[in-house]
Structure 1
C-alpha cells in the first residue's frame, strides 16, 4: 500500500508518525473522506474549503496550499492506479509537549491514503441511540475532527441492538444525523434535513442537495420519522435509503421516488 505522508510518497510499511503526535494522543486534527470516481477526486473544492474552514476554527496551521494538496492527491491516485475508490486526507497538529495547550510553533502532520471503493448504497435499518447524543453547542459538531467517539458509541449500540446504523439526537432531543451520515426526510412533499445549528455536520452531498433539489433545513424530532413518506442518509460515499427506525417502518418501508431521482443525478 502506497501512501502520501508530509510531502513524500512511500510504502505504508515504511511510514512513521511520531508517538508524541497530538493527533494520536489527543485527537487534535481533522480529516476529509473523498470519493474517487474515474480516477478523479469528486467535489474536491468543497472538501478543501471545509478543511480550510476547520483549520481556521481550530487555529491549526495548514501546511499546504489547496493547489499543492490537489497535485498530491492526483499523484497518489495515479501511483495506486485507483479508478474507483476512497481517498482520506488526515491532518493533525503534529508533535507537542504533554498538556492540551497547542505548541506555538506547531508543525502539522499531513497524510493521504487510498482504499477501494466503499459505496454507501445498501438499505438501512436504524435505531435512535440511547448511549450518547450530539452536542449541537460544540463547534466540533461542524467539523470532521479526529475524535469520533460519540459516533463509535452510537454505532456499537446499533450493532448490539441488531441495526445497521444509529441516529443521534442532540441535547434538545431533536434529530441531528446518523453516526456517519446526514439525514433527509421527505414529509408532505417537502425534503427536510436537520440544520447545522441542531448538530448536523455540513456534509458535501447535503449541501449539493440543499442547493440543487429544493431541500430545506428544519428542526426535526423522532415524531417526524413517523410522518415521513421516505428517508435516506447521505455522505461523500453515497446515498442510502433509511427503511426503518427502532423497528418501525419509515413511509412504506422501501426506497422512495425522491431518493431514486437523486441517485439518477450523475454529479451526486
Structure 2
C-alpha cells in the first residue's frame, strides 16, 4: 500500500472532498486523523474507515485557531511518532454570481481571508513538525477558479490563486528539509452537491469548457491526493496538479 504506516491529518474530513480523501488515505494504509468542527459527522467517516479495516482518529478542532491546530499536530506526533501527510479540504464562505462592481467589500474579502488563514495555519503547523523530522508531504486544495476569468466568482478565484501561491512559496522554504508541498486544482465536482446529477443542465456551461466533456469525479480527486502524498510523487513539489478535465490547459 502506498501510504502504509503514514500518519495523515485531513482537515475538513467530514466534507465531500475531505471524506473521500480520508477514505482513500486509509485504504492505502495510512492512519488518518480526521479533523473538523463537528464531531458527529467526523465519527461517521471514522466508523466507515474502521469498518473497512482502516485506522482513524477523530478530533474536533477549529482550523482558524492556530494554537488548537498546533496542539493537535503535537498530539499526532506524540501518538503516532510522526506527522507524515497534511491535507486541507476546509470549506470557505463565498458569494458568487454577482459582478465585482456590484459586490459588497465584505463578500469579496471573506473567502480570501478565510482561505488564507486556514491554509496558512494548517500548512505551517505541518511544516514545523515535518522539517524537524525531515520528511513529509503537505497537500493543499485550490480549484480551477484560480485560472478562470469568465465566471462571476467574487473573491473565490483570488482565494484559490492565493493557495497556489502559498504552495510555491512554502515549497521553496521547506524542500531542502525533505518536505514536499503540492496543490490539487480540481474543477467543480458534481458529487460534492447532494442530489446534483453529473449531466444536470445547469452544469453544461462548465462542461462545455472542458476538453474531456465532463467534470472530475471525487474518486479522481482522492486518487490524485494519494499520489501527491505518496513516495511515487517524491520528485514533485511546488506543483499544481491540474484536475480540471481540460478546462484549463497548462
Q: Which has a greater percent of helix?
A: 2
Q: Which has a greater percent of strand?
A: 1
Structure with higher Rg: it is 1
Q: TM-score, normalised by structure 2?
A: 0.26
